[in-house]
Chain A
Amino acid sequence: MDFFFHVGRYFSFLGRVFSKTERKKIFFRNVFQEIGTLGVNSVGLVIIMSIFMGAIITLQMVYNLTSPFLPVFLIGLGNRELLILEFSSTILSLLLAGKIGSNITSEIGSMRVTEQIDSLEIMGINSAEYLIFPKIIAILFIFPFLYILSVFFGLVGGLVVGTSFGAISPTDYINGLQHSFIPYHFSFSIIKMLFYGFLIATIPSYYGYYVKGGAFDIGKASMSAVVNTDILILVFDLILTQILFK
């Protein structure tokens, strides 16, 4: 019953979020602010994570795929495909759900318990639309860029570690990156990122918007928001892979 209650309230919440905007000028200012807070501030984390992901995938490929029967370029190719298809989209989103999701829940939850949301309502402002719609637009805008950044730095991480450990030559690695490239894999992951971005923007917002109590409850809400967002990201990964890869 609790599950159906949350699903029903989540969709009614989305109805409020997607109602008519108050003032376009303020809306765009809020979107730019959110791009900075939620997107640009995540760039550093994305770069560090991606370098390590690419490096570790390359080392695993080297340790597990080195065989006289397999061509060396498979290491570069495998790294590229794993990053493009899953690591730079799904794994990255799981981690960003933790960073961005907890940020959103605690920000909106604090506004709820300190009556700032009530204050917006008293002014005649649709607080759900005012606070959350700019976050959704900002995340949908910035996520494809974060994905591209992640793929790029993942490949660079693989190249640097693979060659510096003497596991593969730069030429073999780059040959692997260029071998049998399918552009659709890239589009597939961009579509996934848009779905994940929507989940990361709306589920933590929902948990923050309806929080009751104080600091302890905000902490609990943040945890629930991140856990549920992560689960839904994996569920959507399964569904979208099935639909878009058929």
Chain B
Amino acid sequence: MIRVENLYKSFDNKTVLKNISVEFERGKTNLVIGRSGSGKTVLLKSIVGLFEVDRGNIYYDQRNFVKMKPKERKNLRKEMGMVFQGGALFDSLTVEQNVGFQLKLFTNKTKQEIAERVSFCLDRVKINKEFFKSFSSEISGGMQKRVAIARAIVLEPRYLFCDEPNSGLDPETSLVIDNLIHEITLDLNMTTIINTHDMNSVMSIGEKVFFIRDGKLQWEGTKDEIMKADDKHLQNFVFANNMYKKYR
């Protein structure tokens, strides 16, 4: 479980996050939705510590991340996995080297054990063996995202963060990625936070949904509740797509 309390973050006197308090549950896919520029990515990057917060607390299962020393943070980060918007695969490494990177760095596994674990994770995200030796520039955007997921779960993290994992992908591939993240969350019983503005993702895997507007938490609920919500701003966001108007 990750709990955020009264979080504030500003850049150059512009306050981006304003008093955000949320609780992300373990074993569920927690979706943070909102328009572009609403503060979703800043929230996610503040939670993982890529941005230092101005005020507020972030608890990882009772451990206050904000008050941790650098070494404690470093250790906690080994329990985190993150899938970035563009995949963020290391372009100088092959697919299998990307996935095995942390195993080589942080474990005492033998070459054989690393190869087995890498193969298992890449199989899990349905990457064919023929692509193991390819560089990230040689594979498609959807495959890059799947490799990024494999890399994020290689150390079996307790917390998984995904920043717009579907951006730039076609609807079919997006669905594959959504389902994959959902399955892995259940399998590993992780606390998963996904930033998205894709309503298809919300409707397929949104077990818990948080709507951010202008840096504030505007609404929270489940994917079933979102269709009946009265909040005007949420409605504008959800029913921007005609398909959902008809669905309603």
Does A86 belong to the interface (CB within 8 Å)? no
Q: Of the candidates A23, A119, A125, which one forms a contact with B84 in the assembled complex, judged by CB atoms under 8 Å apart?
A: A119
Task: Compute how far the CA of A114 lies from the CA of B80 in the bound complex, rounded to whole angstroms.
Answer: 19
A122–B50 contact, CB under 8 A?
yes
Does B105 belong to the interface (CB within 8 Å)? yes
The interface bits of chain A over 121-148 (1 if a CB of B lies within 8 angstroms of the residue's CB, else 0) are 1111100000000000000000000000
B86–A115 contact, CB under 8 A?
yes
Does A26 belong to the interface (CB within 8 Å)? yes
Task: Compute how far the CA of A121 lies from the CA of B214 in the bound complex, rounded to whole angstroms.
Answer: 27
Of the listed residues A114, A121, A124, A125, the one surrounded by the most CB atoms of chain B closer than 10 A to its CB is A124
B158 CB to nearest A CB, Å: 14
The interface bits of chain B over 150-164 (1 if a CB of A lies within 8 angstroms of the residue's CB, else 0) are 000000000001000
A116–B91 contact, CB under 8 A?
yes
Which chain A residue shows the least CB distance to B84? Answer: A115
B105–A122 contact, CB under 8 A?
no
Q: Of the candidates B48, B75, B85, B106, which one forms a contact with A122 in the assembled complex, judged by CB atoms under 8 Å apart?
A: B48
The interface residues of chain A lying within 8 Å CB-to-CB of B81 are 122
Task: Compute how far the CA of A42 lies from the CA of B174 in the bound complex, rounded to whole angstroms.
Answer: 44
B88–A26 contact, CB under 8 A?
no
B80–A122 contact, CB under 8 A?
yes
B20 CB to nearest A CB, Å: 21
The interface bits of chain B over 26-53 (1 if a CB of A lies within 8 angstroms of the residue's CB, else 0) are 0000000000000000000100111000
B104–A122 contact, CB under 8 A?
no
A118–B105 contact, CB under 8 A?
no
Of the listed residues A22, A115, A116, A119, the one surrounded by the most CB atoms of chain B closer than 10 A to its CB is A119
B86–A114 contact, CB under 8 A?
yes
Q: How many residues of B contact A (CB 8 A)?
A: 26
Known contacts A115-B86, A116-B88, A116-B90; A121/B102 CB under 8 A = no
The interface bits of chain B over 77-119 (1 if a CB of A lies within 8 angstroms of the residue's CB, else 0) are 1101110111011110000000001101110000000000000
B88–A118 contact, CB under 8 A?
yes
Task: Compute how far the CA of A23 lies from the CA of B108 in the bound complex, rounded to whole angstroms.
Answer: 11
Q: Chain A, interface size: which category? A: 10 to 19
Known contacts A122-B77, A123-B77, A124-B77; A115/B102 CB under 8 A = no
B104 CB to nearest A CB, Å: 7
The interface residues of chain A lying within 8 Å CB-to-CB of B106 are 124
Does B74 belong to the interface (CB within 8 Å)? yes
A114–B88 contact, CB under 8 A?
yes
Known contacts A114-B88, A124-B77; A119/B82 CB under 8 A = yes
The interface bits of chain A over 104-115 (1 if a CB of B lies within 8 angstroms of the residue's CB, else 0) are 000000000011
B85–A115 contact, CB under 8 A?
yes
Which chain A residue shows the least CB distance to B83? Answer: A119
The interface residues of chain B lying within 8 Å CB-to-CB of A123 are 77-78, 101-102, 105
The interface residues of chain B lying within 8 Å CB-to-CB of A26 are 104-105
B84–A124 contact, CB under 8 A?
no
Known contacts A116-B88, A116-B91; A121/B50 CB under 8 A = yes
B88–A124 contact, CB under 8 A?
no
B78–A118 contact, CB under 8 A?
no
Task: Compute how far the CA of A124 lies from the CA of B75 in the bound complex, rounded to whole angstroms.
Answer: 7
The interface residues of chain A lying within 8 Å CB-to-CB of B75 are 124
A135 CB to nearest B CB, Å: 13
The interface bits of chain B over 172-194 (1 if a CB of A lies within 8 angstroms of the residue's CB, else 0) are 00000000000000000000000
A118–B84 contact, CB under 8 A?
yes
Which chain A residue shows the least CB distance to B82? Answer: A122
The interface residues of chain A lying within 8 Å CB-to-CB of B88 are 114-116, 118-119
B82 CB to nearest A CB, Å: 5
Task: Compute how far the CA of A23 lies from the CA of B109 in the bound complex, rounded to whole angstroms.
Answer: 14
Q: Of the candidates B45, B74, B90, B91, which one forms a contact with A124 in the assembled complex, judged by CB atoms under 8 Å apart?
A: B74
Q: Which residues, 54 to 75 on B, are CB-close (under 8 Å) to A?
A: 73-75
Q: List 28 A-B contacts (CB under 8 A).
A: A22-B105, A23-B105, A26-B104, A26-B105, A114-B91, A115-B85, A115-B88, A116-B88, A116-B89, A116-B90, A116-B91, A118-B50, A118-B88, A119-B84, A119-B88, A119-B90, A121-B50, A121-B77, A122-B48, A122-B81, A122-B82, A123-B78, A123-B102, A124-B73, A124-B74, A124-B75, A124-B76, A124-B77
For the complex of A and B, 3 pairs with smallest distance between CB atoms: A124-B77, A115-B88, A119-B88
